[in-house]
Amino acid sequence: MGCITDLPGPQIEERLEDKKQAALAFAQANPLDRAIFGTPNARFGIVTTGKAHLDLMEALRLLNIDADRAREMGIDVYKVGMVWPLEHEAALEFARGKQELLVVEEKRGIIESQLKEYFYDDPGRKPERMVGKRDQDGQRMIPWTGELSPQQLAKILAARLDFNFDLGLSKAAVHIKPDAPVITVPGAARTPYFCSGCPHSTSTRVPEGSEAMAGIGCHFMASWMDRDTSSLIQMGGEGVNWIARSAYNGGKHIFQNLGEGTFYHSGSLAIRQAVAAKCNITYKVLFNDAVAMTGGQSVDGPITVLAVAQMVKAEGVGALRIVSDHPEQFRPADFPAGTGFHHRDELDAVQRELRNISGVTVLIYQQTCATEKRRLRKRGKMVDPKKFAVINPLVCEGCGDCSVASNCLSVEPVETEFGRKRQINLNSCNKDFTCLGGFCPSFVTVEGGTRKKAQGTIEDAIALAQGLPAPDMPGLSKPYDILITGVGGTGVVTIGQLIAMAAHLEGKGASVLDFTGFAQKFGPVLSYLRLAPSDEQLHQVRIEPSSADALIGCDMVVSSSAKASATYRRDQTRAVMNGAEMPTGDFTRNRDADLRASVRIKRVRDAVSVLDVVDANALSEQLMGDTVFANVLMLGAAWQAGLVPLSHEALMRAIELNAVVPDKNKRAFAWGRMAQANPAQIAALLGQVPQVEQSFEDMLARRVDFLRDYQNPQWAQRFSDRIATVVDAETQTCGEAGALSQAAAKGLFKLMSYKDEYEVARLHTQTGFIEGLSQQFEGDFTVVHHLAPPLLPGKTDWRGRPVKRQFGGWIRPMMRLLAKMKPLRGTGLDPFGYTQERRMERALIAEYEALLARLVGGLTAGNRDQAANIAAMVQEIRGYGPVKEGAVVTAKAAIKTAMRSYEGA
């Protein structure tokens, strides 16, 4: 009877030897290795395999060595199909009689070491010389660390051919890789971030004084979001690294983030070990209903909040708390005894409670993934609430507190005549509404209606584009490299797919390599697209440094990054770039984050041969009614600019085969052509007029009119008189009114138009804001205000600030009445004027007027810029209530320090 098991034993070594010999016999009978050129009596042989073979073939192309020239030179290439064990008979025959054998391998020299062993046993077929990881003098040659590249290999190959044949290739190889114009722009950067409305924006917060450890999943991004979150460990090891640390830190408490998918995979074992080790740790099981990091798949296995709760209780954890945006969905009777249920607004208090309980505790935070919600709503599988958040820009102070509350990228900056404010991008908003928690009365929600579907322009874009001249296309006699940059989650990868499909339809070769990583979370995307007359001419998928022929830049931040610009070549790369300033995660943490758009455009223009800039997002919104078509519009612009050497017919067919609103995408492509070839015609269609920079006089007059409406003519006159004093002094000292007058006018206006109850009511009811909502929404909708009136006491949020309340349309008549009561402002009859905040605001005006007098008194032509900077510091006083109070303290300290320097104290 034969053995039915294969248990370990001494015989296993014999079986392995037999298997090895069988594999060699198979390889000899069914050759897996082959000579590429079949050069008779080749003097120079190259042995390669896998990626190194593709790198070698590309290196030969860079050196202009094709099959015919290789045969003429006496070169042949041996491609190994099975690296280990190496079939020795064919390999030795290939090596026989060679003047030199060059072994090209990525990483370790596995083939090279086997050949050396074979040559020792069979010296008769040994070449005169073999080199690879080291040359004939023992010096390092082909590196085994890092990544091997064709450009790097071309120089090595040129040196070896010159050593053997004295061809002078090394001199030409120097110019294969010119210095890349690598771009670096300090400031805001495109980094992966939580999607709009992501549960992790709330769930990964920890109370002041606590720390958290990261884990595998989207929530790992919290580690670069100033959330006191750090560390990283393998899936299923969450918290294991805390055992050793806790033995030396006095049993300190830590929070450990753990996704429910990871919990089901192996994370439950991590909780078990923490219980066994008696660690002081709280596991936050982040239950989001999807494996969001890798595309929104369902979690493997039957897992529910109830199941997790029962499992962790069975493992012996202490306190268990469930936190959700809808805690009412759970039946407490189904859960283990002692389980607490809380709304996500109570997260901070719940965490403070758990960190004070010794041992292992668990908090299950349940909220559906925002991106998954969006998918389900589109498919009709989840109710899409008829509710939209909108910001009144006149009421908004641009303090950024709503971004702090929500950590949401849909809360975007918007530049206005009164400075930077915030707006909600309803195209990307996933209706989480945590932004409403910002301490600000500018928010309203439109409820019960729907957004009006923007129709875009009625012009026939395709008909207009037919009259455009045909682009001047480059020839495609050799590989042609296109770099496509963009933002994850916006469909930028689709552009590479469309071009590759069009190339396939024309019988041409194409390859696409997408660098995404966390990019679907609004991070950077780089698509390396290579075209060639045939697939055989594409030996690699990466675009080498200084090799890009074209750039389709769908995002200026990624286009001006070091990684993208490494592929540019000043005398070769032609580019079309999107000029839209798409916010990065920096804007959620820094209200004044600056993309430095003009700097980025200039740096890219200096790094390429030709650059055209198209504001694709704005044009897509105006012409198509949605920014989602911006990338296809960019493709149309790039094609019209002659950057995509494929036919219009093939690209249109590729759009059809993609089967995603093909008619609209064809229109977007046509508008892109128009934007590139005839931008003036588009501007005329949209009724756009060239923007003229506002003069100082116009800016001043606008503010005088505003203050007249704000209070009365006397109030406006006070403003005019104070600024006139500054203007006169600056003109007498410096010859003209300039930076100081500008800063003083903006600063004094800001303080004199402080937004008290009367002003907020006026800006909501007397500026057309409410009426203007009917231009964005339709149906029987109501407008709800979210306010925290100072005279109405109530609860406080996790930051200790008053929680806002909802007020329906019934409050607007009261607001209109309140707005008419503005003459009471600052008088003894003002019921709000006695609050600390109002007294502070009135005092700030007088203090600033005194500051301007001091600045004017010490003004010289040499310190004007310094004076202007000091006068502008009050612009940092933004927000309402506690936000403004904190800003005042910071601004006053900065002004005090700056004035010491200004006055020479």
pLDDT tens column, 80-106? 999 999 998 899 999 999 999 999 999
| Confidence bin at 299 (pLDDT 50/70/90) | low
| Confidence bin at 460 (pLDDT 50/70/90) | confident
Question: How large is the average pLDDT for residues 512-533?
Answer: 83
Segment among 121-125, 254-258, 501-505, 795-799 with least mean pLDDT: 795-799
Question: How large is the average pLDDT for residues 872-884?
Answer: 94
pLDDT tens column, 250-281? 889 999 999 988 998 899 999 999 999 999 99
Q: For residue 519, is pLDDT > 60?
A: no
The pLDDT of residue 291: 65
Question: How large is the average pLDDT for residues 655-660?
Answer: 92
DSSP secondary structure, 868-898, as one string: HHHHHGGGG--SSHHHHHHHHHHHHHHHHHH
Q: For residue 588, is pLDDT > 60?
A: yes
Segment among 559-573, 688-702, 786-800 with least mean pLDDT: 786-800
Question: How large is the average pLDDT for residues 835-846?
Answer: 94
Mean pLDDT, the chain, rounded, equals 90
Q: For residue 790, is pLDDT > 60?
A: yes
The pLDDT of residue 654: 96
Alpha helices in 506-573 (DSSP H): 556-559, 562-565
Segment among 36-50, 307-321, 403-417, 519-533 with least mean pLDDT: 519-533
The pLDDT of residue 296: 57
The number of beta carbons lying within 10 Å of the beta carbon of residue 473 is 13
pLDDT tens column, 488-506? 878 889 999 999 999 999 9
What 3-state class would DSSP assign to 527?
A: strand
Sign of CA dihedral 620, 626, 630, 633: negative
How far apart CA 72 and CA 345 sit, in angstroms, is 77
The pLDDT of residue 448: 93
Which residues in 795-820 are b (16+ Cβ under 10 Å) and which e?
Answer: eebbeebbebeebeeebbeebeebbe
Q: For residue 905, is pLDDT > 60?
A: no
The pLDDT of residue 6: 60
The pLDDT of residue 113: 93
Q: For residue 570, is pLDDT > 70?
A: yes
Segment among 342-346, 378-382, 455-459, 727-731 with least mean pLDDT: 455-459
Q: Are 408 and 432 in contact (CB under 8 A)?
A: yes
| Confidence bin at 589 (pLDDT 50/70/90) | confident
Q: Are 484 and 496 in contact (CB under 8 A)?
A: yes
Question: How large is the average pLDDT for residues 120-146?
Answer: 91
End-to-end CA distance of the chain: 102
Question: How large is the average pLDDT for residues 404-415?
Answer: 91
How far apart CA 570 and CA 572 sit, in angstroms, is 6
Residues sharing a CB contact under 8 Å with residue 470, sequence separation 6 or more, in sequence order = none
* Residue 190: closest CA among 547, 545, 564: 564
Q: For residue 434, is pLDDT > 90?
A: yes
| Confidence bin at 622 (pLDDT 50/70/90) | confident
| Confidence bin at 454 (pLDDT 50/70/90) | low
Percent of the chain with pLDDT over 90: 65
DSSP secondary structure, 340-405, as one string: EEEEGGGHHHHHHHHHTS-SEEEEEEE---HHHHHHHHHTTSS---SEEEEE-TTT-----HHHHH
| Confidence bin at 192 (pLDDT 50/70/90) | confident
Of the CA atoms within 13 Å of residue 234, those in its CB half-sphere come to 2
Question: How large is the average pLDDT for residues 336-357?
Answer: 94
Per-residue tokens: 272: 């078990």
Percent of the chain with pLDDT over 70: 96
Q: For residue 348, is pLDDT > 60?
A: yes
DSSP secondary structure, 266-315, as one string: IIHHHHHHHHHHT--EEEEEEE-SSBGGGTSBPPSS---HHHHHHHHHHH
The pLDDT of residue 292: 59
| Confidence bin at 1 (pLDDT 50/70/90) | very low
Question: How large is the average pLDDT for residues 242-254?
Answer: 87
